[in-house]
Amino acid sequence: MHPDLAALLICPECKGGFAFDAVATCGSCARSYPVADGIVSMTRADAYTALDEIDYDAVYRLSSDASHAFVRSCLSMLGDRMPSTIDTFLEIGAGTGQFTLGFLKQVPTRTAVVTDISSSMLGACRRRLVENGVPSAGVHFVTWDGADCLRRDAFQLIAGFSVLHHVLDFQTMLATLAGAMRQNGIAVFLEPNYRFHLALIDTVCEIFVATQDDPCWSAEDRLALSDWLFENNTNLRFRGDAEVLAGREDKHLFDGDQLAHAASAAGFGSVELVPFGGRSECYVALEVYSNQIGLRDEARADLLDRFSRLLPGNFGHLADEDLAPSTLIVLRRDGNGNRRRSANQVPIRGGAAPRFAYDIVITTGHDSEGEWTLTAQGWVLGDTDVRYLAISLDGAAYRFPVQAIRPDVNNAFNARRVHPLRRSLFCGVAGATPRRLTWTGGRAAGLLAVAADGREFLLAQVELPQQPGIVTTTRVEAT
């Protein structure tokens, strides 16, 4: 291992130092770590990112010009928080090098350790640096997704752009990074902003409902938009719910308070939140997203036009720090930074017991090992925010997230105004994997709606068949 890299890493197993010149062999326990194509591997064999399956640069329209412009914006927003030269730099989740390239070109850096969970991302990043004339001598590539292999007090600058929300246990990762940062160092992360996205997605939901009979929208356009809303809505309303989010690529959507708590629990003494962009960012943000939704030009133009007419709308309720789609988070180990708090309050609705309507198909069957399974499909609407449909059986509860758009239901109920539909656009249970039952033979199951605040409401009692089969339970008139 190159001496400059060996000075910054330790063996994750025994915490010893790496031998110089040996490939990547621990000088204490002699354990060897794989090196392929010059990239040292510190990830487990099953490390995975779904982003490897897309053409990342094409989807996110990355280029060297875009990279330079992105870093210029970051540096101007960071101002004198960013030192003018860097001795040791660690980047996590570098991907194909959007930040890496612009940064190494613009800020003199002695040693850079560029990491990502994916070796193919790092390969693309290295090609980008070489093609743009970044000298390779001081740049080292390591696959990393949180391993305890960083030397304490080693890095002057740690950066991670749009990566923390991909990491299920970001709390432990932050603590590892806090330990690896020099006492007077600085860590910078960029993360999508929760409240901004809530306002954005709520606005696009209104547009989705309004485009129902609009001839500029084809059925495919509406399906594309509903898929996009489904993805974003899941990240928003199942925030913090590991059961739903663990298997997804995006695992978190942070708000400032959550990040401040996490950083302080990780051992950082100061947290600053810097909105990434100005007040006109709402429109720009949707413009960028609209390229990724897959709409025809006509529908895309209509989406943007309707959006601009709804502004400021939901965005008018946001605090200044939430008025940009993402936030730069600047962390230090000492406690001298200042922290601006958000004054946002979520209104709580009191009052009458909620009413529900639903149409649920429960299917029972056997899995490949002959065990009983159960799955649910359909929709449930309530005038409270229904998060899960649950089936209780023999003392166990099987939960299914309510997260899909059901345009058929939306059309019917919206026209008749049976329910306030703002919360209920996402009323469908879709593609739920069958749950294995610990079935002791009871047949009486309860069908429940679980609200966002955890309250449970019994919708119906259902008799399950003794043979594999289906049971449909429907109530269309709300009571």
Ligand X SMILES: C[S@@+](CC[C@H](N)C(=O)[O-])C[C@H]1O[C@@H](n2cnc3c(N)ncnc32)[C@H](O)[C@@H]1O
Interface ranges with ligand X (CB under 6 A): 49, 51, 92-95, 98-99, 116-118, 121, 145, 161-163, 166-167
Nearest distance in Å: CB 160, ligand X: 7
Residue nearest to ligand X (CB): 95
The separation between CA 269 and the C-alpha centre of its own chain, rounded to angstroms, equals 25
Residue 337 in contact with Zn ion, rule: CB under 5 A = no
Rounded Cα distance between 259 and 263, Å, is 6
Q: What is d(CA 90, CA 111) in angstroms, rounded to the nearest whole number?
A: 9
CB of 106 to ligand X, least distance (A): 15
Instruction: Between 73 and 162, name the residue whose CB sits nearer to ligand X.
Output: 162
Q: Is 11 or 167 the residue whose CB approaches ligand X more closely?
A: 167
Beta strands in 333-443 (DSSP E): 356-366, 372-382, 386-393, 396-401, 404-405, 426-429, 435-436
DSSP 84: S
Per partner kind, with CB cut-offs from 5 to 8 A, the member of Zn ion, ligand X, none near residue 11 is Zn ion
Q: How many CB atoms lie under 10 A from the CB of residue 402? A: 25
Return the structure tokens found at 348: 């709580």
Nearer to ligand X, 99 or 268 (CB): 99
Neighbours of 150 (CB within 10 A): 26
Report the nearest approach of ligand X to the CB of residue 167 (Å). Answer: 4
Provide the minimum distance between the beta carbon of 42 and Zn ion in the complex, in angstroms, as a whole number.
12
CB of 112 to ligand X, least distance (A): 14
Nearer residue to ligand X within complex by CB, 197 or 419? 197
CB neighbour list of residue 196: distance below 8 Å, 6 or more residues apart: 282, 285, 315, 318, 322, 323, 324, 325, 326
Which does residue 161 touch among ligand X, Zn ion, none (CB within 5 to 8 A, set by kind)? ligand X
**CB nearer Zn ion, residue 11 or residue 445:** 11
**Tally of CB atoms within 10 A around 212:** 13
Mark the segment that binds Zn ion (CB under 5 A) among 7-15, 35-43, 143-151, 371-379: 7-15
Q: List the single partner that 14 binds among Zn ion, ligand X, none, CB under 5 to 8 Å by kind.
A: Zn ion
Strands across the sheet containing 444-451: 396-401, 386-393, 444-451, 456-463
Which option in Zn ion, ligand X, none does residue 116 bind, with CB closer than 5 to 8 A by kind? ligand X
Nearer to ligand X among residue 161 and residue 217 (C-beta): 161
In the complex with ligand X, which residue's Cβ is closer, 163 or 205?
163
At closest approach, how far in Å is the CB of 8 from ligand X? Answer: 17
CB of 281 to ligand X, least distance (A): 17
| Closer by beta carbon to ligand X, 49 or else 193 | 49
The correct pick among 11, 173, 190, 357 for binding Zn ion (CB under 5 A) is 11
**Residue 228 CB, nearest distance to ligand X (Å)?**
16
Question: Distance between CA atoms of 428 and 335, rounded to whole angstroms?
Answer: 47
Q: How many helices (H) and strands (E) does the chain have?
A: 13, 19
Q: In angstroms, what CA-CA distances link 164 with 29, 56, 169, 171, 301?
A: 31, 18, 9, 9, 33
Give CA–CA dist 332/271, Å, rounded: 7
Q: Name the residue nearer to ligand X (CB basis): 90 or 318.
A: 90
DSSP 144-192: -SS-S-BPTT-EEEEEEES-GGG-TTHHHHHHHHHHHEEEEEEEEEEEE
Among Zn ion, ligand X, none, the one that 98 touches (CB under a kind-dependent 5 to 8 A) is ligand X
SS3 281: helix
Q: Which does 29 bind (CB under 5 to 8 A by kind): ligand X, Zn ion, none?
A: Zn ion
Q: Residues 382, 367: contact at Cβ < 8 Å?
A: no
Q: Give the C-alpha separation, 42 to 37, whole Å.
A: 14
**Strand-pair category, 326-332 with 181-192:** antiparallel
- The dihedral over CA atoms of 344, 350, 355, 358, expressed in degrees to the nearest 10, equals 30
By beta-carbon proximity to ligand X, the closer residue of 52 and 371 is 52
To ligand X, the closest distance from the beta carbon of 134 in angstroms equals 16
Within 294-444, residue ranges assigned H as helices are: 297-310, 407-416
* Matching residue, tokens 């609209």: 290
Q: Least distance in Å: CB of 18 to Zn ion?
A: 8
Report how many residues bind Zn ion under the rule CB under 5 A: 8
- Interaction with Zn ion in 14-33: which residues (CB under 5 A)? 14, 16, 26, 28-29, 31
- In the complex, least distance from residue 33 CB atom to ligand X, rounded to whole angstroms: 16
- Cβ distance to ligand X smaller for residue 42 or 282: 42
- The partner in contact with residue 258, picked from Zn ion, ligand X, none with C-beta cut-offs of 5 to 8 angstroms by kind, is none
Question: What residue 145 binds from ligand X, Zn ion, none (CB within 5 to 8 A, per partner kind)?
Answer: ligand X
Q: Which residues bind Zn ion (CB under 5 A)?
A: 11, 13-14, 16, 26, 28-29, 31
